[in-house]
Structure 1
Amino acid sequence: MSSTLPDPHLDQLFVQARTHNAWTSKPVTDDTIHALYDLLKWAPTAANSNPGRFVFVRSAEAKARLLKSVAPGNVDKVKAAPCCVIVAYDTEFHDLLPQLFPARDMRSGFVGKPELITETAKRNSALQGAYLILAARALGLDAGPMSGFDHVALDAEFFPDGRWKSNFLCNIGYGDAEKLFPRNPRLAFEDACRVL
């Protein structure tokens, strides 16, 4: 990769992209969901561990189950979005490392180390959730990530065997730009960065 993306592409991914809370009625199709995953799966994770798991909640029945654990301030957002993604992680992701990292034995480094498993799974599934947002924007979708929900209740409802655990939620679809809030500021380089 040797070239910088043109400004319009950077605008779509970052500069002009917004967090959406209101949505049009345009659906997110199966083909779009597959294309979304087929993009985000190529982004890096530690030891190619890929612990992220994604549940695309679209049906009225699944939405009703999800809404039971969503914070009151997020209920209307989830109801209106054509799709809400549960970004989760697999607590047994390391069992797939022989397939995902065949060059070396990475699995044995996790066996019997639940704290390392959880730390690695949470961090890297969060990365994959961020890749989900960028992939969605690259495909012309908008995104609205949220952390306001009851993790325990959601996991009991959707992941009762305990293997997958929720990390955060992300609405995806085609946002209603007329209902965007004024854009909030960001920190300046001097406030957020150090070059040593």
Structure 2
Amino acid sequence: MNNQRLSEQGLDLLFRQARSQNGWRDRAVDDETLAALYDLVRWGPTSVNSCPARIVFLRSAAAKQRLLPALSPGNVGKVLGAPVTAIIGYDANFHEQLPKLFPHNPEVRDWFAGQPELIEPTALRNSSLQGGYFILAARALGLDCGPMSGFDHQLVDREFFADDGCFPGMQVKANFLCNLGYGDPDKLFPRSPRLSFEEACLLL
């Protein structure tokens, strides 16, 4: 169905010239852009259309202050300087949405219900996929990204997701963080090398 390809300029935008950002220009990201970002992310494929990712966009100083105690010291300045910090999480009750998301199989919820050993890796894997889509969608919309680990997951979960917090009725856990905005090229590190095809791939 897809016999088209992006231009070289498009490939540069998404991959070859895109960089993980450490510093940010003083330029806001409006709510319409964030909504457009998710509207792209939601079309990316996931197992049984599970769509487990849940995203909290921290835009205000007060919201970011709630995150700061969970951050490693090296990430505090990055978060404070970014226009937006997104918490990419996943819903461990994602299977409750499957009758809506996978309607052609009415039994799909029962594949997961009561099976945490299946729920957890499925939710983590597919929310990570959606996190990758998130970064590419942001770049496609002209935003820069600064994805981050380096935080206390349990603190983030308690602050934002416990006691029916941001997503009532869901059991959301943090996966990773991603700063969003318009990067300051003067704050970039030299680009790190990548493995070659021969080092990372095998043709059988």
Code of the residue aligned with 2:177 in structure 1: it is L
Q: What displacement does 1:161 show?
A: 2.8
Superposition RMSD in Å:
0.8
Name the counterpart of 2:86.
Answer: 85
Name the counterpart of 2:151.
Answer: 149
Name the counterpart of 1:36.
Answer: 37
Q: What displacement does 1:117 show?
A: 0.5
* CA displacement, residues 61-108 of structure 1 (integer Å, 9 cap, x when unaligned): 100001110110111000100000000000100000000000112111
Q: Distance in 2 between matches of 1:190 and 1:106?
A: 40
Q: Which residue among 136, 139, 155 is the counterpart of 2:138? A: 136
Q: Distance in 2 between matches of 1:75 and 1:96?
A: 35
**TM-score, normalised relative to structure 1:** 0.98
Q: Distance in 2 between matches of 1:151 and 1:64?
A: 16
Name the counterpart of 1:123.
Answer: 125
Q: Distance in 1 between matches of 2:81 and 2:108?
A: 42
Unaligned runs of 5+ in 1: none
Is 1:48 the counterpart of 2:56? The answer is no
* CA displacement, residues 134-161 of structure 1 (integer Å, 9 cap, x when unaligned): 0000000000100100001111111113
* CA displacement, residues 92-137 of structure 1 (integer Å, 9 cap, x when unaligned): 0000000000011211100110111111000000111110000000
Q: Which residue among 173, 184, 194 is the counterpart of 1:165? A: 173
Code of the residue aligned with 1:91 in structure 2: it is A
Name the counterpart of 2:114.
Answer: 112
Match of 1:74, SS?
A: helix
Name the counterpart of 2:19.
Answer: 18
Match of 1:181, SS?
A: coil
Q: Distance in 2 between matches of 1:65 and 1:101?
A: 36
Q: Distance in 2 between matches of 1:131 and 1:46?
A: 14
Runs (4+) of structure 1 moved beyond 6 Å? none
**TM-score, normalised relative to structure 2:** 0.95
Name the counterpart of 1:67.
Answer: 68
Aligned length: 196
